[in-house]
Amino acid sequence: MAALRLPAIALLTVAVLFGIAAGLGGYTFVYARGSSYLTDDPAACANCHVMQEQYDGWIKSSHRSVAVCNDCHTPHAFLAKYYTKALNGYHHSRAFTSGEFHEPIQIKARNLEVTERACRGCHADIVQTIDHPVQTLDPISCIRCHDSVGHLK
């Protein structure tokens, strides 16, 4: 041990600390079922129970056999999809950890746009004749009327 000088001991301590942080982080990730959030499994969205009603509603909805949460709530392109997941993941974990969020939960403007696009993604044949031809006007909202197709509330 005498051969070890001060910087070596310090380096070792740092390495151990990083190891602890990495270990804790890894365990937390597994314990919190972190990997489930990378999947398309709708049950993952109700992990923390905040979206239990939406999940329950989806199970009984007309879209349950053709679309899961991610089909309507994330863009369909790979990068955009995981960017949206990461962004929402950050907002949702911060909200649920701190407990500070509006109840009942409300969709944000960006996510609403994602959903509106998703409607058009599948139903383009029908809605292209309905949508405003003049693109400067606000586009017609699909879910303002069809608010229970995915899940009620």
Partner 1 sequence: MPRLGGTPEVTKRRRLFLILAAAAVALIAAAGITALLVNIFTRKQEARNPFFRVATLTEETVDPAVWGKNFPSQYDGYRRTVDMVRTRYGGSEALPRTPDRADPRSIVSRSRLEEDPRLKTMWAGYAFAVDFREERGHAYMLEDQTFTERQRVKPQPGACLNCHASVYTAYRKLGGGDIFEGFAKLNAMPYAEARALASHPVACIDCHDPETMQLRVTRPAFLEGMRALKASQGVKDWDVNRDATRQEMRAYVCGQCHVEYYFRGSEKRLTYPWANGLRVEQILEYYDREKFDDWTHAETGAGVLKAQHPEFEMWNQGIHARSGVACADCHMPYVREGALKVSDHHVRSPLLNVARACQTCHKWPEEELTARVHIIQERTFRLRDRAMDALVGLIGDLKEARKRGKSDAELAVARDLQRHAQFRLDFIEAENSMGFHAPQEAARILAESIDLSRQAQIALRDPGFRPREAQPGSDAIRRIPSSSSP
User: Which range binds partner 1 by CB under 8 A, 7-15, 82-90, 110-118, 130-138?
Assistant: 7-15
Q: Which two tokens stand for residue 140?
A: 């017609």
What is the nearest approach in angstroms of partner 1 to the Cβ of residue 129?
27
| Binding test (CB under 8 A) with partner 1, winner from 100, 104, 129, 145 | 104
By CB under 8 A, is residue 102 in contact with partner 1?
Answer: yes
73-110 as b/e, with b when 16 or more CB fall inside 10 Å? bbbeeeeebeebbeebeeebeeeeeeeeeeeeeeeeee
- Give me the DSSP letters along 23-68: HHHHHHHHHTTGGGGGS--HHHHTTTSTTHHHHHHHHTSTTTTT--
How many Å is the Cα radius of gyration of the chain?
Answer: 22
Listed ranges 17-25, 62-70, 74-82, 119-127: which one lies at the site for partner 1 (CB under 8 A): 17-25
> What is the closest distance, in whole angstroms, from the C-beta atom of residue 149 to partner 1 in the complex?
15
Site of interaction with partner 1 (CB under 8 A): 6-7, 10-11, 13-14, 17-18, 20-21, 24-25, 27-28, 31-32, 48-50, 52, 96-97, 99, 102-104, 106, 147, 153
